[in-house]
């Protein structure tokens, strides 16, 4: 009596009794067929599997005693690389035999590299040395051989001055970083294995740039000028000294102090408010020059200084004085051929006050005529120009009520003057025009504040008993104002001469709001054209 025989026929790759299977092979991957024979051919034979693992032996052709060895689940090289199983055959007489088979699992590139930290948070002080070390990145790959070798790369959003060693994973920065320029960096890094195809994983790097006290306090202006009214009360708010420091924390904290004239002036460190300890009398002193120092809280501290000029102003008690036109009853002839944008005439005025009280703005507050919007006035110069081309229907008399305002404190003062423009080719009936001028002008007041830019100016319209006005300007010397006033009168006289052209003895009359006596003068038309 002989034991049963086990005859294998391998389907998978086999060499010297070892079967080779790749991991990730699908379930029910066939390994081999086994035929069980009884040499005596008179006993019943059967077989079963020993050794465990993800394998099973099932009848394939039972009547021929053929069995199939196959996998029962996906194989994983990282869990187990080698299995040893035994096919046991036996007959009814109790004889049995073992056929041992080894199954070697082959590695596939089925694992991506894994960073030790998915989020890498770093910090570095600004003004670092070039090529400063930041960190060493580390990633592992569970695959074997080249499939487990990892290389490191920066993501596309990383600035060019960051470097990552491909082999070691050392991250460096090649240049000095400036927190004031950029405080945070955030970019990705990649770990890539050498498999085919390669697999990779991504981690995020955040870098915070820490502050150093490398910025001095900075005044918004190196020279501040403030205009305050005369008889300025003690401890009144003169102005605000604005200062910044680009550093943060204690390095960015700033203390202000008055270097000179601290006996008269004091400054609030927290808000930068400049105040006078005593009432300021313009008759005693009309201006002050101070130096203010700003010191930060760094170690060592940094500082800077600024110059402050304080000018005491008189009260606004003079309205603007209109020098041209000289009468509300004069008129100008405007030819229909005048081109848009052409200068027509001007309103010229002076103000005997000083500083802001003498800054004048012009505006048209009332209009009457066939198309009254055809003319506009420059709020700064008082020049009147033609806006649009004149048509046949636009002929006739235009009356423009011009308001001349100063920028005085506590209340602006103003004067008005009527500018009369007669649009026609000629003046054939002067008496008719004179009769129109003598009529009461029915003009709706449509006043708007003239938009005139005066830099730098900060105003607050309050009574003197309240907090005084703060006005920040460039310094205007009283001598310059006197010179401007004189030049204005000279220009006015020159312009008056232009209106007395030729030998005709041309004169134009218009009363100035009751401020100048009316004079009855001979009236002649004045032509405006594009010559």
Domain ranges of the chain: 5-106, 114-210, 218-313, 321-438
Q: Residue 197 and residue 431: Cα distance in Å, rounded?
A: 103
Q: Residue 391 and residue 102: Cα distance in Å, rounded?
A: 109
pLDDT for 1 equals 64
> At a CB cut-off of 8 Å and minimum separation 6, what does 54 contact?
71, 72, 73, 74, 75
Spatial CA neighbour of 383 closest among 236, 495, 513:
495
- Computed over every residue of the chain, the mean pLDDT equals 82
Q: Which residue has the higher pLDDT, 30 or 520?
A: 30
Candidate from 243-257, 421-435, 447-461, 509-523 with smallest mean pLDDT? 509-523
Q: Which of 37-51, 53-67, 196-210, 455-469 has the highest mean pLDDT?
A: 196-210
Would you place residue 503 in the very low, low, confident or very high pLDDT band (cuts 50, 70, 90)? very low
Q: Residue 375 and residue 384: Cα distance in Å, rounded?
A: 7
Record the pTM.
0.47
What confidence tens digit (pLDDT) does each residue in 274-310 have? 999 998 877 688 899 999 999 999 999 999 999 999 9
Would you place residue 325 in the very low, low, confident or very high pLDDT band (cuts 50, 70, 90)? very high
In terms of CATH architecture, what is 5-106?
A: Sandwich (2.60)
pLDDT for 392 equals 87
Q: How far is CA 61 from CA 32, 89, 181, 444, in A?
A: 13, 16, 79, 115
What confidence tens digit (pLDDT) does each residue in 252-271 have? 999 999 999 888 999 988 88
pLDDT beyond 50 at 205: yes
pLDDT for 524 equals 35
Kindly indicate whether the domain formed by 114-210 is annotated with CATH number 2.60.40.60: yes
Q: Residue 32 and residue 22: Cα distance in Å, rounded?
A: 15
Kindly indicate whether the domain formed by 321-438 is annotated with CATH number 3.90.1150.10: no
Would you place residue 492 in the very low, low, confident or very high pLDDT band (cuts 50, 70, 90)? very low
218-313 adopts what CATH topology? Immunoglobulin-like (2.60.40)
pLDDT beyond 60 at 528: no
Q: What are the φ and ψ backbone dihedral angles of 219, each rounded to 5 degrees?
A: -75, 145
Q: What is the percentage of the chain residues whose pLDDT exceeds 70?
A: 82
Q: In CATH terms, are 114-210 and 321-438 the same topology? A: yes
Based on the number of CB atoms within 10 Å of its own CB, is 464 exposed (0-12), middle (13-18) or buried (19 or more)?
middle
pLDDT for 304 equals 95
pLDDT for 452 equals 52
């Amino acid at each position: 009596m002989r034991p049963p025989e086990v005859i294998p026929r391998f389907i998978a790759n086999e060499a010297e009794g070892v079967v080779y299977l790749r991991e990730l092979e699908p379930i029910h991957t066939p390994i081999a067929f086994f035929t069980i024979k009884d040499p005596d051919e008179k006993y019943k034979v059967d077989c079963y599997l020993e050794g465990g693992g993800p394998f099973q032996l099932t009848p394939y052709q039972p009547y021929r005693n053929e069995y199939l060895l196959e996998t029962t689940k996906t194989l994983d090289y990282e869990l187990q690389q080698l299995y040893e199983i035994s096919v046991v055959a036996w007959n009814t007489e109790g004889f049995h035999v073992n056929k041992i088979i080894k199954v070697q699992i082959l590695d596939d590139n089925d694992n991506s590299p894994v960073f030790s930290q998915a989020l890498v948070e770093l910090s570095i002080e600004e003004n670092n040395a070039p090529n400063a070390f930041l960190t060493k990145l580390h990633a592992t790959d569970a695959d074997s051989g080249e499939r487990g070798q990892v290389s490191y790369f920066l993501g596309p959003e990383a600035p060019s001055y960051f470097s990552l060693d491909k082999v070691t994973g050392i991250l460096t920065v090649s240049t000095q970083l400036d927190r004031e320029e950029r405080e945070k960096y955030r970019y990705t890094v990649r770990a890539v294995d050498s498999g085919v195809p390669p697999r990779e994983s991504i981690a995020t790097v955040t870098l915070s740039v820490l502050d150093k006290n490398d910025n001095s306090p900075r005044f918004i202006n190196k020279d501040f000028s403030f205009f305050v009214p005369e008889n300025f009360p003690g401890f009144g708010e003169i102005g605000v000294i604005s200062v910044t420091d680009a550093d943060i924390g204690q390095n960015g904290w700033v203390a202000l102090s008055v270097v000179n004239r601290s006996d008269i002036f004091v400054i609030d460190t927290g808000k930068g408010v400049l105040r006078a300890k005593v009432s300021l009398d313009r008759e005693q002193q009309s201006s002050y020059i101070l130096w203010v120092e700003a010191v930060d809280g760094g170690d060592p501290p940094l500082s800077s200084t600024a110059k402050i000029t304080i000018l005491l102003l008189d009260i606004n008690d003079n309205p603007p004085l209109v020098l041209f036109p000289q009468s509300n009853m004069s008129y100008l002839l405007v030819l229909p051929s005048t081109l848009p944008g052409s200068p027509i005439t001007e309103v010229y005025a002076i103000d005997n006050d000083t500083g802001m009280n003498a800054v004048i703005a012009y505006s048209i507050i009332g209009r009457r005529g066939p198309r009254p919007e055809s003319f506009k006035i420059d709020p700064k110069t008082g020049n009147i120009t033609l806006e649009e081309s004149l048509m046949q229907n636009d002929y006739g008399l235009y009356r423009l009520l011009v308001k001349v305002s100063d920028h005085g404190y506590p209340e602006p003062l103003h004067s008005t003057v009527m500018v009369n423009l007669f649009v026609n080719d000629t003046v054939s009936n002067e008496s008719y025009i004179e009769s129109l001028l003598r009529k009461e002008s029915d003009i709706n007041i449509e006043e708007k504040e003239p938009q005139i830019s005066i830099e730098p100016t900060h105003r607050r319209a309050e009574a003197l008993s309240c907090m005084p006005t703060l006005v920040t300007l460039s310094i205007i010397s009283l001598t310059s104002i006197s010179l401007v006033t004189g030049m204005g009168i000279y220009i006015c006289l020159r312009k008056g001469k232009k209106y007395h052209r030729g030998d005709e003895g041309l004169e134009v009359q218009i009363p100035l709001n009751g401020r100048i006596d009316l004079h009855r003068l001979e009236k002649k038309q004045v032509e405006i054209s594009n010559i």
